[in-house]
Structure 1
């Protein structure tokens, strides 16, 4: 009794010279030749390699194809098969971090950046519209109608990523971090490169801030892992970073580097090996306006509640501002109920007043 043949799928490429193409793919790409058909005068050949199954077919009259080879090896020049298919080499992973080009003060108000409808009923707005030449993305995301989320286990290749809860709550599971975590207003987590995670459920009216650098990065699906994993390894490193979970109720307040403010350090600077710093700020006593500057590559602030004046502009809840290094700016009119999310790259930097 013949063995049952497994189902297979092939990418079909046009072929004008079967023997020449076979020689090309086996020599240049090191693909394996599996079989030719028919034996006496073959018109097609099956090859495999790099997770790819190819069918070269002289009967197929389509346009030449394109193969993109993801390889960490040194990039090669673009090649073309004898039948015209283009072979292009690309790096499998984009840089984790991207340097920030010189940038100006960028103020983003709730009124000036309307919400844009996204997938699955979400809305979002860009808090750094310029994205600093691709260096960073800061998204304000809201989900009006919550409930269980049909999310896949996935990970990102961003060099640094932060998820901060503005209002409502969101439940997530993270690789080797124990039972699911529920973020509430004022809480945050970092998502180190390649840590597997999944969104489980959200409240109605959820709002979160998601910050990632570089602005464009890969989201990859893990079809094998189940979350939670049942393991707890809080010291595990993911590409040099530890997972960090901060809750507002556990905050320890100390005088901030700027007068009139108190700060609660989230632990992100230590967990990210100094790559980034995240602090929650609140008002602490009255302070007159003052001029200050800093030398951080990036200093981003989101107004959670209350108000603060930057230069001549009064910013209120939902507004955000990004201040470039070495430029002087004026801070004043800090309201008694102000609450700010401050994110810096790197984690520590100098301030001048």
Structure 2
């Protein structure tokens, strides 16, 4: 296949031009601030990029770099793929190991998405507010996710975002931080149901908050999601509420929190006041807890094991 790279000052404008010339989009990255895309037409391949010196995705996971991080909810957004807005929840990306984003769609309606997949080690989507209709490979008809719902997107599962409410917000977390969105031009979704299929050793999971009871969790309450079983122990995810939660020490890699609603005190080092939309990362092996949680305090809590 003939291959050439074209440096362009504006990737969106270049994409429009080349797609208008009959090229199809095969891949684009990164999702939160796209600067590079690969397009093909009849044996010809073009790599468009506005950042020719930027790192390219690889199959190797970057080394995990632990450390404390607090990302306040008033940080800026960037324009991502398919008309979505992204806010970085893990600046520094733990050395490139993890990415977490608050993704929003302000206006709602049909989403300019296509059937695609990702070569990742871990990826999950949690709905903070609004609703979104999605469809996944071998999982049946499209379904709607609402606030508190979550999906585990195992490696390379094909999927597509179809439409959303105005003001949709989701938290997306993935490993590694830099990965491609790759189009599958042949697959049509929905396709045949195969709910027991695994992808890269993981099983698709759709957690529905309204069907999940609150259970005791270290002084507070949690809605467990089943992510641990679906990932073979790679991660755990839960929604937590309460005024005082004493978190057990975690010895894996990521310890991530995102304040869905309300306020609280993060008891770590000198203490930090938390408000809605704040995110934090705690180093593994560190002691921490939540104090003075407001009546409406809700926390998305994610931990991961030591990944290969």
Q: TM-score range by the shorter chain?
A: 0.7 to 0.9
Kindly indicate whether the alpha-carbon contact (under 8 Å) linking 1:189 and 1:243 is maintained by their aligned counterparts in 2. Answer: yes
Match of 1:94 among 47, 50, 59: 59
Match of 2:208 among 233, 247, 253: 247
1:218–1:290 Cα change, 3 Å: closer
What are the ranges of 5 or more consecutive residues in structure 2 without an aligned counterpart?
Answer: 5-40, 45-55
Q: Check if 1:340 corresponds to 2:294.
A: no
* RMSD across aligned positions (CA): 2.7
1:10–1:262 Cα change, 3 Å: closer
Superposition pairs for residues 193-342 of structure 1, below 5 Å?
193-229=155-191, 231-256=192-217, 258-259=218-219, 261-283=220-242, 287=244, 293-311=249-267, 312-342=271-301
The aligned counterpart of 2:67 is: 104
Number of aligned residues: 257
2:229 match: secondary structure: helix
1:339 CA drift (Å): 1.0
Superposition pairs for residues 34-45 of structure 1, below 5 Å?
none
Match of 1:132 among 77, 86, 94: 94
Higher RCO, 1 vs 2 (CA within 8 Å, ≥6 residues apart): 2
1:115–1:338 Cα change, 3 Å: same
Q: TM-score, normalised by structure 1?
A: 0.67
After superposition, the C-alpha distances for 1:155-199 in whole angstroms (9 at most, x for unaligned) are 001110001111111111100001102111110101101100011
Alpha-carbon distance in structure 2 between the residues aligned to 1:109 and 1:222: 36
Alpha-carbon distance in structure 2 between the residues aligned to 1:292 and 1:238: 30
Kindly indicate whether the alpha-carbon contact (under 8 Å) linking 1:306 and 1:338 is maintained by their aligned counterparts in 2. Answer: yes
2:144 match: secondary structure: strand
1:104–1:180 Cα change, 3 Å: same
Kindly indicate whether the alpha-carbon contact (under 8 Å) linking 2:256 and 2:282 is maintained by their aligned counterparts in 1. Answer: yes
